[in-house]
């Protein structure tokens, strides 16, 4: 119904007093009895809608259904009608009144804004006839289309998908006023556009013989004489005589000034009284809004997955990773998101195959039980890596694509340091990888760049603050920190917070005393205590020690500093451990960057940079959705190294995935390097932060690594493997299984069942594979399974998936390794002795001094994050197998207070890797014609 006509129809309807409420109501899905009076029908619809909405609100107490109506005219009649009906039903209505003469583009712009407003569940239009174009109607999101006029909604209506569409309110009103029309002739006159099409479809579905024509049609009078029912879709011209209408015919007027219902146009040779849809159409709109709310509530609930797996056709020999990745056609990421139950407003799409997932999902699915939680760890690896990421991907491909069990892989974002250095990418490999692998390994959605920017902004703020404090008086500093803007001086929010921490409860900058001003402006940073370093996501050994401040403009403020690799930044650790945007902001503010000259910690909050850091990180906090080669979902989020940080993907990715998979599903995440490194930190740091408890640990081993631990020759990246690794040697394997047994024992310290996944290489003999599995089971593993996912995809990990499913049903007795209340040194000693097998620890004087300082500052109750080589259980990379009797040297102790842990540096551990003689970048290239990346692996 067009707005001008509706205004004319509504005038008498609004003036008339509504009839009294009618008894027992039915649900909105039940058909209402045919009413002779539009007012009586409107009353029924209103009562029915009110009762249904009240029921929805009882079940959802925080529900505030909101309908937005865009109108482009000055007449208040329609607005008043909508408000009255909405108020009676219990709906909230927002009217957006645009000026008369608004263009279609202006209308569309307003529609698009309301489409993205999460507080608006329904959207309706009251516009002049000329503005009802397909461009305008189709701008409305189908799920918010209360008037049911978008092409998507009409398409569903025409095809009979009545459960997925809304019948336009005017059409509902017409059908409500008609008696039984089966087999009767219905003429639509002047009914154009979307409403005309909808009305014709519904009438035909009801069994009517429908014809339509416009007012100027030459056959109009003939059609009028034969029609049993006539529906006026627009104003009847004066030159069309009423006498043309068949006597006794029913007239439904959707458009022109209504006539009194009892008025007739004559006696026996005149048609029956006209019926108008005015107020009834408005009531039907509100009923549609309640139906929209029912669907909205249903859409917010957990949805069963409807995932279409991608087929694999493995080749032999197995092509390169990038060739395999390119041979598969990934699903569009919005399709994948819909398959796993994500809503359209919960994803932010980056290109065709990546999307950020908004944290609002956690609130929507807060009552949904979590799935099973699986951690993939490994034995002490060779420099080549043993395939934990590949096992992780192969396992979820097996669970979902082959066993039809919901599963999610949660992986870390790879650093460009290893990608261009030694190790290469981290998307898995062979037929068990994340695709597109080049997008996974290069930039992704820019999270590491955001971390780099935030980290270096804070580093710049530290040095700049020291410079300005060294070169300015208290008064000058105060005038610059709290400037007069437009004649007014005021503190920013973060400055007010600093004043409160200082015990200065004042908000007027003019009231501070000189002593208070000095306390406020002087951080008094001791440059020798600065622990915050600049970062870059490149292996660059020449940045391990640098000098800053050598330019004349820095006025002689020179100090020694260094760069760390970006993934070693505390901000990366915070991203991986945070549980919400608010939690991240608080953690960023707590980061300790140095001490002042009195020995007290100086934080990012003191420097006034917390809000800016949060702004830089606001998108990085959202996990990135990708897919495996077989089309199963993957979250890629955060990427801390396990040897110099805690080595786990994000808590948020895990939590979101656990909700999405459902109670019987699995979330598989991985911990960096060996179980002694990444897994220990997963349990003692990440599980404490998340409150999540793992169901199973999958421990990845390879015959190659076991032979190395059994006394085989050194394995060097880029060099061919010696014959000991390519020929059967059962003795080497048996001797090396001591490392596997030790890692199983470490896992058992935490009370979680362990399944050993033997990542099979083509050079492994059946006897070697059988021997490893036999020893693993005898050493306490729940099961040990050889896996061929690298060459066969998920099909090659089905037995592993079945073993994991069985193990997940075992009762666990999870426990942490140490109590947080223990002294820092004692916690370090427990890890060294129980996990690494050390005889004891030895702290350098500098390390002991730092421990004493952190204890005094109140940081002694934090967990420990050891920075240690991943190539040995000890601190010496060359010591393989299970070293014993060694003293673990602690050269330094640092604190990541925002992340929430103390990290001791073992031996000569570096936080900036270097490039080898022949880095991976020699093989990486770009085809200028196809723009395809070459050489990634």
Where does residue 384 fall: left (phi above 0), alpha (psi -120 to 50 degrees), or beta otherwise?
alpha
423 is annotated as an active-site residue: yes
Q: Look-up: residue for tokens 């490994």?
A: 378
**DSSP classification of residue 29:** T
Buried (b) or exposed (e) across 314-324, using 16+ Cβ within 10 A?
Answer: beeebeebbeb
Structure tokens at 758: 């033997």
pLDDT tens for 384-427 read 889 999 999 999 999 999 999 999 999 999 888 888 877 666 78
Q: Mention every residue, 6+ apart, whose C-beta is less than 8 A from residue 31.
A: none
750 is annotated as an active-site residue: no
* Cα distance between residue 785 and residue 754, in whole Å: 11
> Which pLDDT score is estimated for 17?
35
pLDDT tens for 332-362 read 999 999 999 999 889 999 999 999 999 999 9
State the catalytic residue, choosing from 440, 750, 790, 901.
Answer: 790
Q: Is 544 exposed, middle or buried (0-12, 13-18, 19+ CB in 10 A)?
A: middle
pLDDT < 50 regions, the chain = 1-36, 256-271
Structure tokens at 352: 């065709």
* Cα distance between residue 2 and residue 529, in whole Å: 73
pLDDT tens for 548-606 read 999 999 888 999 999 999 999 999 999 999 999 999 999 999 999 999 999 999 999 99
> Which pLDDT score is estimated for 1?
44
State the catalytic residue, choosing from 2, 246, 412, 894.
Answer: 412
CB under 8 A, 24+ apart: contacts of 107-116: 107/70, 107/72, 107/131, 107/136, 107/139, 108/135, 108/136, 108/139, 110/70, 111/70, 111/136, 111/139, 111/140, 112/139, 114/68, 114/70, 114/144, 115/139, 115/140, 115/141, 115/144, 116/345
> Which pLDDT score is estimated for 69?
93
Contact in structure between 410 and 422 (CB atoms under 8 Å): no
State the catalytic residue, choosing from 250, 292, 390, 610.
Answer: 390
Q: Percent of the chain beyond pLDDT 90?
A: 67
* Cα distance between residue 482 and residue 498, in whole Å: 13
Where does residue 150 fall: left (phi above 0), alpha (psi -120 to 50 degrees), or beta otherwise?
beta
Q: Mention every residue, 6+ apart, whose C-beta is less than 8 A from residue 159.
A: none
390 is annotated as an active-site residue: yes
* Cα distance between residue 279 and residue 284, in whole Å: 9
380 is annotated as an active-site residue: no
Question: 564 by DSSP, 3-state: which?
Answer: strand
Contact in structure between 32 and 42 (CB atoms under 8 Å): no
Buried (b) or exposed (e) across 900-929, using 16+ Cβ within 10 A?
Answer: bbbbbbbbebbbbbebeeebbeeebeeeee
Across 194-243, the runs of DSSP E, i.e. the strands, are 209-213, 229-232
pLDDT tens for 462-508 read 999 999 999 999 999 999 999 999 989 999 999 999 999 999 999 99
State the catalytic residue, choosing from 372, 388, 659, 827.
Answer: 388
pLDDT tens for 869-904 read 999 999 999 999 999 999 999 999 999 999 999 999
Count the neighbouring beta carbons within 10 Å of the beta carbon of residue 888: 24
* Cα distance between residue 647 and residue 644, in whole Å: 8
Across 153-311, the runs of DSSP E, i.e. the strands, are 185-189, 209-213, 229-232, 250-253, 274-276
State the catalytic residue, choosing from 232, 563, 673, 750.
Answer: 673
- The DSSP secondary structure of 420-488, one letter per residue, reads HSSS---SEETTEEEESHHHHHTTTTSHHHHHHHHHHHHHHHHHHHHHHHHHS-HHHHHHHHS-EETTE
> Which pLDDT score is estimated for 93?
93
State the catalytic residue, choosing from 227, 614, 642, 705.
Answer: 642
673 is annotated as an active-site residue: yes
> Which pLDDT score is estimated for 273?
64
List C-alpha distances in Å: 179 to 184, 270, 605, 645: 10, 19, 72, 75
* Cα distance between residue 429 and residue 575, in whole Å: 26
> Which pLDDT score is estimated for 272?
53
506 is annotated as an active-site residue: no
Question: 9 by DSSP, 3-state: which?
Answer: helix
Q: Look-up: residue for tokens 């935030």?
A: 454
420 is annotated as an active-site residue: no
* Cα distance between residue 592 and residue 893, in whole Å: 14
* Cα distance between residue 745 and residue 208, in whole Å: 78
State the catalytic residue, choosing from 491, 666, 761, 859.
Answer: 761
> Which pLDDT score is estimated for 425?
65
Q: Mention every residue, 6+ apart, whose C-beta is less than 8 A from residue 51.
A: 25
State the Cα angle at 833 between 832 and 839, rounded to 5°: 105
Contact in structure between 695 and 373 (CB atoms under 8 Å): yes
List C-alpha distances in Å: 894 to 574, 673, 705, 850: 15, 22, 32, 7
Whole-structure pTM value = 0.84
List C-alpha distances in Å: 867 to 115, 413, 495: 49, 20, 35
**DSSP classification of residue 712:** P
Contact in structure between 440 and 425 (CB atoms under 8 Å): yes
Structure tokens at 742: 């030790």
> Which pLDDT score is estimated for 424?
63
* Cα distance between residue 157 and residue 174, in whole Å: 16
State the catalytic residue, choosing from 423, 659, 707, 868.
Answer: 423
Q: Is 42 exposed, middle or buried (0-12, 13-18, 19+ CB in 10 A)?
A: buried
């Amino acid at each position: 119904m067009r707005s001008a006509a509706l205004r004319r129809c509504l005038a008498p309807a609004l003036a008339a007093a509504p009839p009294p409420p009618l008894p027992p109501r039915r649900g909105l899905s039940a058909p209402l009895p045919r009413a002779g009076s539009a007012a009586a029908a409107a009353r029924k619809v209103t009562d029915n809608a009110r009762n249904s909405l009240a029921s929805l609100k009882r079940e959802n107490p925080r529900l505030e259904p909101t309908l937005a109506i865009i109108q482009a005219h000055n007449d208040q009649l329609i607005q008043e009608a909508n408000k009255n009906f909405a108020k009676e039903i219990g709906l909230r209505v927002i009217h957006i009144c645009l000026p008369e003469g608004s263009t279609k583009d202006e209308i569309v712009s307003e529609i698009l804004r309301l489409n993205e407003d999460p507080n608006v569940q329904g959207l309706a239009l009251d516009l002049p006839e000329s503005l009802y174009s397909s461009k305008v109607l189709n701008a409305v999101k189908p799920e918010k289309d209360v008037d049911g006029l978008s092409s998507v909604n009409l398409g569903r209506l025409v095809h009979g998908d009545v459960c997925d569409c809304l019948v336009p309110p005017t059409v509902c009103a017409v059908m409500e006023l008609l008696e039984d029309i089966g087999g009767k002739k219905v003429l639509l006159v002047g009914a154009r556009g979307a409403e005309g099409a909808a009305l014709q479809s519904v009438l035909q579905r009801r069994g009517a013989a429908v014809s339509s024509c416009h007012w100027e049609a030459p056959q109009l009078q003939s059609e009028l004489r034969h029609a049993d029912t006539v529906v006026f879709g627009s104003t009847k011209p004066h030159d069309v005589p009423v006498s043309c209408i068949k006597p006794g015919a029913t007239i439904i007027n959707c458009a022109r000034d209504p006539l009194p219902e009892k008025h007739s146009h004559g006696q026996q040779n005149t048609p029956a009284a006209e019926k108008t849809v005015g107020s009834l159409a408005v009531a039907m709109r509100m009923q549609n809004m309640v139906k929209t709310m029912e669907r909205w509530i249903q859409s917010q609930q957990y949805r069963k997955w409807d995932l279409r797996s991608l087929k694999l056709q493995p080749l032999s020999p197995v092509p390169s990773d990038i060739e395999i990745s390119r041979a598969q056609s990934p699903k569009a990421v919005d399709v994948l998101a819909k398959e796993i139950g994500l809503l359209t407003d919960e994803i932010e799409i980056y290109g065709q195959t990546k999307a950020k997932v908004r944290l609002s999902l956690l609130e929507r699915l807060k009552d949904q039980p979590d799935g099973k939680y699986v951690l993939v760890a490994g034995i002490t690896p060779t420099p080549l890596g043993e395939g934990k990421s590949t096992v992780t991907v192969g396992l979820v491909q097996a669970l979902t694509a082959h066993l039809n069990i919901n599963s999610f892989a949660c992986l870390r974002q790879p650093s460009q340091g290893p990608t261009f250095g030694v190790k290469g990418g981290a998307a898995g490999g062979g037929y068990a990888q994340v695709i597109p692998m080049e997008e996974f390994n290069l930039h992704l959605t820019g999270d590491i760049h955001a971390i780099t920017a935030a980290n270096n902004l804070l580093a710049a703020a530290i040095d700049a603050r020291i410079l300005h404090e060294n070169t300015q008086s208290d008064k000058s500093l105060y005038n610059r920190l709290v400037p007069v803007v437009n004649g007014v001086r005021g503190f920013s929010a973060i400055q007010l917070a600093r004043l409160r921490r200082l015990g200065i409860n004042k908000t007027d900058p003019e009231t501070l005393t000189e002593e208070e001003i000095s306390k406020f402006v002087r951080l008094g940073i001791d440059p020798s205590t600065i622990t915050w370093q600049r970062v870059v996501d490149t292996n660059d050994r020449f940045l391990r020690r640098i000098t800053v401040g050598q330019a004349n403009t820095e006025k002689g403020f020179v100090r020694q500093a260094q760069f760390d690799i970006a993934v070693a930044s505390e901000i990366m650790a915070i991203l991986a451990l945070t549980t919400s945007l608010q939690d991240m902001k608080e953690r960023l503010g707590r980061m300790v960057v140095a001490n002042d000259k009195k020995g007290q910690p100086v934080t990012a909050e003191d420097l006034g940079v917390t809000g800016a850091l949060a702004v830089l990180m606001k998108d990085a906090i959202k996990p990135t959705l990708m897919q495996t080669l077989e089309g199963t979902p993957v979250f890629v989020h955060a990427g801390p190294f396990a040897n110099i940080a805690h080595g786990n993907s994000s808590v948020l990715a895990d939590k979101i995935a656990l909700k999405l998979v459902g109670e019987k599903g699995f979330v598989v995440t991985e911990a960096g390097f060996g179980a002694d490194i990444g897994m220990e930190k997963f349990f003692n740091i990440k599980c404490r932060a998340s409150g999540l408890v793992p169901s199973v640990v999958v421990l990845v081993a390879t015959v190659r690594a076991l032979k190395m631990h059994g006394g085989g020759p050194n394995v060097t990246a880029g060099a061919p493997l010696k014959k000991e690794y390519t020929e059967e040697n059962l003795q080497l394997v048996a001797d090396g299984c001591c490392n596997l047994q030790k890692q199983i024992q470490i896992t058992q310290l935490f009370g979680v069942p362990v399944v050993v996944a033997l990542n099979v290489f083509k050079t492994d003999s059946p006897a070697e594979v059988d021997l490893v599995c036999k020893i693993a089971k005898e050493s306490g593993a729940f099961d040990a399974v050889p896996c061929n996912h690298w060459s066969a995809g998920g099909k090659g990990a089905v037995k592993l998936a079945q073993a994991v499913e069985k193990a997940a049903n075992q009762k666990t007795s999870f426990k942490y390794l140490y109590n947080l209340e223990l002294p820092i040194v004692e916690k370090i000693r427990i890890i060294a002795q129980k996990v690494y097998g050390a005889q004891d620890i030895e702290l350098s004087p500098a390390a002991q001094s730092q421990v004493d300082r952190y204890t005094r500052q109140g940081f002694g109750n934090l967990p420990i994050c050891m920075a240690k080589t991943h190539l040995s259980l000890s601190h010496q990379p060359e010591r393989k197998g299970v070293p014993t009797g060694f003293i673990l040297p602690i050269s330094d102790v640092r604190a990541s207070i925002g992340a929430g842990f103390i990290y001791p540096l073992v031996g000569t551990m570096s936080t900036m890797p270097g490039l080898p003689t022949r880095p991976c970048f020699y093989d990486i290239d770009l085809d200028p014609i196809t723009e395809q990346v070459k050489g990634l692996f």
